[in-house]
Structure 1
Amino acid sequence: MRQLLSALSYFSIFFAPFLFPIIIWIVAKDNYIEGHAKRALFSHIFPFLAAIPLLYFFVTAHSLGSAVGFVILFFVIYALSFVYNIVKGIQVLREYA
Protein backbone atom coordinates (compact mmCIF):
# COMPACT_ATOMS: atom_id res chain seq x y z
CA MET A 1 0.00 0.00 0.00
CA ARG A 2 2.91 2.34 0.76
CA GLN A 3 4.39 1.90 -2.70
CA LEU A 4 1.01 2.33 -4.38
CA LEU A 5 0.23 5.65 -2.68
CA SER A 6 3.76 6.89 -3.26
CA ALA A 7 3.69 5.91 -6.94
CA LEU A 8 0.24 7.45 -7.39
CA SER A 9 1.66 10.72 -6.09
CA TYR A 10 4.03 10.75 -9.05
CA PHE A 11 1.51 9.35 -11.54
CA SER A 12 -1.00 12.01 -10.51
CA ILE A 13 0.62 14.22 -13.13
CA PHE A 14 -1.93 12.53 -15.43
CA PHE A 15 -5.06 13.23 -13.40
CA ALA A 16 -4.56 15.70 -10.49
CA PRO A 17 -1.05 17.15 -10.53
CA PHE A 18 -1.25 19.43 -7.51
CA LEU A 19 -4.24 18.21 -5.59
CA PHE A 20 -3.46 14.52 -5.12
CA PRO A 21 0.10 14.89 -3.70
CA ILE A 22 -1.09 17.61 -1.30
CA ILE A 23 -3.90 15.38 -0.02
CA ILE A 24 -1.56 12.40 0.37
CA TRP A 25 1.04 14.56 2.11
CA ILE A 26 -1.52 15.88 4.61
CA VAL A 27 -3.39 12.61 5.23
CA ALA A 28 -0.51 10.11 5.27
CA LYS A 29 1.03 9.30 8.65
CA ASP A 30 3.94 7.38 7.15
CA ASN A 31 7.23 9.23 6.57
CA TYR A 32 7.94 7.17 3.46
CA ILE A 33 4.68 8.19 1.80
CA GLU A 34 4.97 11.81 2.96
CA GLY A 35 8.47 12.09 1.51
CA HIS A 36 7.41 10.82 -1.89
CA ALA A 37 4.30 13.02 -1.87
CA LYS A 38 6.43 16.11 -1.15
CA ARG A 39 8.89 15.25 -3.92
CA ALA A 40 6.04 14.57 -6.34
CA LEU A 41 4.38 17.87 -5.45
CA PHE A 42 7.62 19.78 -6.01
CA SER A 43 8.22 18.02 -9.31
CA HIS A 44 4.70 19.00 -10.41
CA ILE A 45 5.17 22.64 -9.36
CA PHE A 46 8.75 23.09 -10.59
CA PRO A 47 7.96 23.69 -14.30
CA PHE A 48 5.55 26.46 -13.38
CA LEU A 49 8.08 28.04 -11.02
CA ALA A 50 10.61 27.89 -13.84
CA ALA A 51 8.05 29.56 -16.12
CA ILE A 52 8.04 32.76 -14.05
CA PRO A 53 11.47 33.97 -15.19
CA LEU A 54 10.83 32.53 -18.65
CA LEU A 55 7.60 34.56 -18.84
CA TYR A 56 9.53 37.70 -17.94
CA PHE A 57 12.12 37.02 -20.64
CA PHE A 58 9.35 36.17 -23.10
CA VAL A 59 7.63 39.52 -22.49
CA THR A 60 10.86 41.49 -22.74
CA ALA A 61 12.16 39.60 -25.78
CA HIS A 62 13.10 41.88 -28.64
CA SER A 63 12.71 39.34 -31.39
CA LEU A 64 10.34 36.59 -32.34
CA GLY A 65 13.16 34.04 -32.39
CA SER A 66 14.07 34.58 -28.75
CA ALA A 67 10.40 34.49 -27.72
CA VAL A 68 9.95 31.16 -29.48
CA GLY A 69 13.14 29.94 -27.82
CA PHE A 70 11.74 30.70 -24.37
CA VAL A 71 8.52 28.86 -25.16
CA ILE A 72 10.50 25.84 -26.36
CA LEU A 73 12.62 25.97 -23.20
CA PHE A 74 9.46 25.89 -21.05
CA PHE A 75 8.14 22.86 -22.91
CA VAL A 76 11.49 21.08 -22.56
CA ILE A 77 11.48 21.71 -18.80
CA TYR A 78 7.88 20.51 -18.56
CA ALA A 79 8.58 17.39 -20.64
CA LEU A 80 11.59 16.51 -18.49
CA SER A 81 9.48 16.92 -15.37
CA PHE A 82 6.77 14.74 -16.89
CA VAL A 83 9.27 11.98 -17.71
CA TYR A 84 10.84 12.29 -14.23
CA ASN A 85 7.47 11.68 -12.59
CA ILE A 86 6.78 8.60 -14.69
CA VAL A 87 10.25 7.16 -14.01
CA LYS A 88 10.03 7.83 -10.25
CA GLY A 89 6.56 6.26 -10.10
CA ILE A 90 7.84 3.11 -11.77
CA GLN A 91 10.91 3.02 -9.51
CA VAL A 92 8.75 3.26 -6.40
CA LEU A 93 6.54 0.41 -7.62
CA ARG A 94 9.58 -1.77 -8.37
CA GLU A 95 11.33 -1.15 -5.02
CA TYR A 96 9.85 -4.14 -3.23
CA ALA A 97 8.76 -6.20 -6.21
Structure 2
Amino acid sequence: MSVEKVMSSLCYFSVFFAPFLFPIIVFFVMRDEEVSYHAKRAVLSHLFPFLSFVLALFAVFVMDAGSVIFLGMILFGLLNVIVFIWNIVKGIQVLRW
Protein backbone atom coordinates (compact mmCIF):
# COMPACT_ATOMS: atom_id res chain seq x y z
CA MET A 1 0.00 0.00 0.00
CA SER A 2 1.39 3.35 -1.00
CA VAL A 3 1.73 6.47 1.09
CA GLU A 4 -0.44 8.34 -1.41
CA LYS A 5 -3.36 5.95 -0.89
CA VAL A 6 -3.07 6.15 2.88
CA MET A 7 -2.91 9.96 2.88
CA SER A 8 -5.85 10.18 0.48
CA SER A 9 -7.99 7.91 2.62
CA LEU A 10 -6.95 9.69 5.82
CA CYS A 11 -8.31 12.91 4.33
CA TYR A 12 -11.74 11.30 4.29
CA PHE A 13 -11.28 9.54 7.64
CA SER A 14 -10.31 12.86 9.21
CA VAL A 15 -14.01 13.39 9.79
CA PHE A 16 -13.27 11.49 13.03
CA PHE A 17 -10.37 13.58 14.31
CA ALA A 18 -9.71 16.84 12.38
CA PRO A 19 -12.38 17.56 9.76
CA PHE A 20 -10.98 20.73 8.18
CA LEU A 21 -7.43 20.90 9.38
CA PHE A 22 -6.00 17.60 8.18
CA PRO A 23 -7.18 17.72 4.52
CA ILE A 24 -6.05 21.33 4.17
CA ILE A 25 -2.59 20.49 5.52
CA VAL A 26 -2.36 17.46 3.23
CA PHE A 27 -3.43 19.56 0.27
CA PHE A 28 -0.62 22.06 0.80
CA VAL A 29 2.08 19.61 1.88
CA MET A 30 1.65 16.67 -0.50
CA ARG A 31 2.61 17.32 -4.11
CA ASP A 32 0.88 14.28 -5.61
CA GLU A 33 -2.02 15.18 -7.90
CA GLU A 34 -4.25 12.32 -6.74
CA VAL A 35 -3.74 13.14 -3.06
CA SER A 36 -4.55 16.81 -3.73
CA TYR A 37 -7.72 15.77 -5.55
CA HIS A 38 -8.92 13.67 -2.62
CA ALA A 39 -7.91 16.34 -0.11
CA LYS A 40 -10.03 18.93 -1.95
CA ARG A 41 -13.01 16.58 -2.07
CA ALA A 42 -12.62 15.80 1.63
CA VAL A 43 -12.54 19.49 2.57
CA LEU A 44 -15.67 20.13 0.52
CA SER A 45 -17.45 17.18 2.07
CA HIS A 46 -16.52 18.45 5.54
CA LEU A 47 -17.86 21.90 4.65
CA PHE A 48 -21.38 20.73 3.76
CA PRO A 49 -22.46 19.98 7.35
CA PHE A 50 -20.95 23.26 8.53
CA LEU A 51 -22.84 25.23 5.89
CA SER A 52 -26.08 23.42 6.71
CA PHE A 53 -25.52 24.29 10.37
CA VAL A 54 -25.16 27.97 9.47
CA LEU A 55 -28.39 27.78 7.46
CA ALA A 56 -30.13 26.06 10.39
CA LEU A 57 -28.98 28.82 12.74
CA PHE A 58 -30.24 31.38 10.27
CA ALA A 59 -33.62 29.65 10.27
CA VAL A 60 -33.75 29.59 14.06
CA PHE A 61 -32.89 33.25 14.58
CA VAL A 62 -34.58 34.86 11.58
CA MET A 63 -37.67 32.82 10.83
CA ASP A 64 -40.58 32.43 13.21
CA ALA A 65 -42.24 29.42 11.63
CA GLY A 66 -41.80 26.48 14.00
CA SER A 67 -42.41 23.84 11.35
CA VAL A 68 -39.74 25.33 9.06
CA ILE A 69 -37.23 25.29 11.92
CA PHE A 70 -38.13 21.70 12.79
CA LEU A 71 -37.80 20.63 9.17
CA GLY A 72 -34.45 22.42 8.92
CA MET A 73 -33.13 20.64 12.00
CA ILE A 74 -34.20 17.26 10.59
CA LEU A 75 -32.53 18.03 7.27
CA PHE A 76 -29.41 19.22 9.09
CA GLY A 77 -29.16 15.97 11.02
CA LEU A 78 -29.85 13.86 7.96
CA LEU A 79 -27.22 15.70 5.93
CA ASN A 80 -24.63 15.21 8.67
CA VAL A 81 -25.27 11.47 8.81
CA ILE A 82 -25.13 11.12 5.01
CA VAL A 83 -21.87 13.08 4.73
CA PHE A 84 -20.34 11.13 7.63
CA ILE A 85 -21.18 7.79 5.98
CA TRP A 86 -20.05 9.07 2.58
CA ASN A 87 -16.63 10.01 3.99
CA ILE A 88 -16.20 6.56 5.51
CA VAL A 89 -17.19 4.86 2.24
CA LYS A 90 -14.85 7.06 0.17
CA GLY A 91 -11.96 6.44 2.56
CA ILE A 92 -12.46 2.68 2.24
CA GLN A 93 -12.79 2.92 -1.54
CA VAL A 94 -9.53 4.84 -1.85
CA LEU A 95 -7.73 2.24 0.26
CA ARG A 96 -9.10 -0.63 -1.80
CA TRP A 97 -8.13 0.79 -5.23
TM-score, structure 1 as length reference: 0.89
Residue aligning to 2:37: 35
Cα RMSD (Å): 1.2
Residue aligning to 1:54: 56
Structure 1: which amino acid aligns with 2:50?
F
Contact 2:19 2:46 in 1 (8 A): yes
User: Which residues of 2 match residues 1-97 of structure 1 at below 5 A?
Assistant: 1-59=3-61, 60-63=63-66, 65-95=67-97
Structure 1: which amino acid aligns with 2:18?
A
Please give the per-residue CA displacement for 1:52-77, whole angstroms capped at 9, x wherever unaligned: 333322330322x4322211110101
Q: Any stretches of 5+ residues in structure 1 without a counterpart? A: none
Count residues with an aligned counterpart.
Answer: 94
Contact 2:56 2:69 in 1 (8 A): no
- Measure how far apart 1:51 and its partner are: 2.7
